[in-house]
């Protein structure tokens, strides 16, 4: 049996992600896109937090929801899902899904002009 030579790798220190994010958000276009996605990321964070709070792995949650683990992984990774899928996952987490439509100011002003 041959001995393996152990080598030490030197890695450049990475930039902490928050500092990197702050730097990118200085660009108004990047900030606008980031803020537009905030609702989606909030839902993903809630899903992951609740799964962990319930002490479930992705595989366990998937089994409870009657689906495969990769579906949960894609959902937690930000892939879009139908309301039906979200409801199944929420039921498996003993939670409810709430979806609301909130009119934008400019849109509601245009709509009221059309109905006059």
The answer, as to whether pTM is greater than 0.75, is: no
Cα-Cα-Cα-Cα torsion 111, 100, 76, 73, nearest 10 degrees, comes to -100
pLDDT (tens place) for every residue of the chain, 116 residues total: 545 554 555 545 556 767 887 888 899 998 898 888 887 788 888 999 999 999 999 999 999 999 999 999 999 988 888 999 999 999 999 999 998 899 998 755 555 555 55
Pair of tokens at residue 101: 């439509």
Q: Find the helix packing angle between 58-65 and 83-92, rounded to 10°.
A: 110
Task: Residues 26-101: name the CATH superfamily.
Answer: lambda repressor-like DNA-binding domains (1.10.260.40)
- How far is Cα of residue 110 from the mean position of the Cα atoms in its chain? 32
């Amino acid at each position: 049996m041959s001995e393996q030579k152990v080598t030490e790798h030197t890695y450049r220190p990475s930039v902490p992600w928050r500092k990197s994010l702050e730097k990118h958000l200085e660009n108004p276009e990047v900030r606008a896109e980031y803020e537009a996605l905030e609702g989606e990321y909030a839902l993903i964070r809630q899903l992951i937090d609740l799964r962990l709070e319930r002490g479930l792995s992705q595989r366990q949650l998937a089994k409870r929801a009657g689906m495969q683990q990769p579906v949960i992984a894609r959902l937690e990774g930000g892939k879009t899902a139908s309301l039906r899928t979200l409801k199944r996952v929420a039921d498996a987490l003993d939670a409810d899904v709430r979806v609301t439509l909130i009119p934008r100011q400019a849109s509601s002003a245009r709509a009221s002009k059309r109905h006059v």
